[in-house]
């Protein structure tokens, strides 16, 4: 009996290891291929070669001059960072009000947040662009191509998710802590900043990261609502392929090198906030 249980346990352990290896290869092989192509000359990539005859380190040097990669990465950091910070702060205030107060229209508002999540973003592109053009012509202001326009656009998609995410964290904070602080003379604002904010910090970090990624990875809205001076790196990467569409050779090696380079800020953010992200996703709040 004990021997059969030991064999069964060993079988499941080996099966788990095999599945982990397969899962790891499924993730790492595409990344390895991107690295390989980034070091391959463009002529060999176009010819279907899998392994390069020589390492093309020039791809990592030329990618900065082929397009304005550094400028585009800076725009992405600015736009995505502002989106993440604003979405987190607004969601913090909104989730606190929704979880601590009862008022008319509260439930319809919460339902509207869910409804916003069900609408495909591509359906919003044309109406949004038409509205912006109408406002431009009516007020004689330039909106398309401005940083504030694309940031506000991303906020419309980031805020519903951010509010619901922080609502789940807010529900785990004992209201008795706030009542005790108020009995000691704290105002609502002091309760929020001194009691609630430290406890909900992991949720705020998770909210910031997801909101940041929404702006960083978007191509659809950035392609329409930005200009060359405000375009993000997701739009700038398309320029490496545009040369092929105009009759030239596609800079595949530079494209892959630029793709790897543009992913560094996201990796840095995950490494920097790793402790908060893991703790926030696993527990839903910091333990007191």
pLDDT in tens, 251-267: 888 888 888 888 888 88
User: Do the beta carbons of residue 215 and residue 84 sit within 8 Å?
Assistant: yes
DSSP assignment of 264-276 = HHHHHHHHHTHHH
Q: CA-based Rg of the chain, rounded to a whole angstrom? A: 24
* Mean pLDDT over each residue of the chain, to the nearest integer: 83
Domains and CATH numbers, the chain: 65-283 (1.10.3720.10)
pTM of the full structure: 0.82
pLDDT of residue 286: 41
Res. 57: pLDDT tops 70:
yes
Which two structure tokens, joined as six digits, stand for 236? 């700038």
pLDDT of residue 2: 60
- Cα distance from N-terminal residue to C-terminal residue, the chain: 45
pLDDT of residue 208: 92
pLDDT in tens, 38-56: 888 877 776 666 777 778 8
Least confident of 36-40, 238-242, 265-269: 238-242
The alpha carbon torsion through 127, 131, 134, 136 (nearest 10 deg) reads -130
Rounded-to-integer distance, Cα 18 and Cα 211, Å: 35
Among the listed residues 28, 43, 38, the one whose alpha carbon sits nearest the alpha carbon of residue 260:
38
Residues 6+ apart with CB under 8 A from 54: 41
**Exposed / middle / buried, residue 224 (Cβ in 10 Å: 0-12, 13-18, 19+):** middle
The mean per-residue pLDDT over the stretch 179-190 comes to 82
């Amino acid at each position: 009996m004990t021997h059969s249980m030991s064999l069964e346990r060993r079988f499941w352990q080996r099966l788990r290891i095999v599945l982990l290896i397969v899962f790891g290869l499924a993730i790492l092989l595409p990344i390895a291929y991107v690295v390989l192509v980034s070091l391959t000359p463009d002529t060999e990539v176009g010819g279907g070669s899998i392994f390069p005859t020589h390492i093309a380190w020039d791809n990592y040097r030329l990618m900065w001059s082929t397009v304005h990669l550094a400028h585009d990465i800076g725009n992405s950091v600015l736009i995505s960072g502002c989106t993440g910070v604003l979405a987190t702060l607004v969601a913090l205030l909104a989730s606190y009000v929704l979880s601590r107060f009862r008022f008319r229209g509260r439930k319809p508002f919460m339902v509207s947040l869910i409804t916003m999540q069900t609408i495909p973003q591509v359906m919003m592109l044309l109406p949004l662009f038409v509205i912006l053009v109408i406002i431009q012509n009516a007020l004689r202001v330039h909106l398309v191509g401005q940083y504030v326009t694309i940031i506000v656009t991303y906020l419309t998609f980031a805020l519903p998710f951010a509010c619901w995410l922080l609502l789940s964290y807010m529900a785990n904070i004992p209201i008795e802590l706030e009542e005790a602080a108020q009995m000691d003379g704290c105002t609502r604002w002091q309760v929020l900043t001194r009691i609630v904010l430290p406890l909900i910090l992991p949720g705020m970090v998770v909210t910031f990261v997801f909101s940041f990624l929404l702006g960083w990875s978007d191509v659809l809205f950035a392609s329409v609502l930005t200009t060359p001076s405000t375009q993000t790196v997701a739009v700038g990467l398309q320029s490496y392929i545009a040369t092929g569409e105009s009759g030239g050779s596609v800079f595949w090696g530079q494209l892959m090198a630029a793709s790897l380079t543009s992913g560094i800020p996201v990796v840095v953010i995950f490494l920097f906030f790793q402790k908060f992200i893991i703790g926030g996703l696993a527990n839903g709040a910091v333990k007191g």
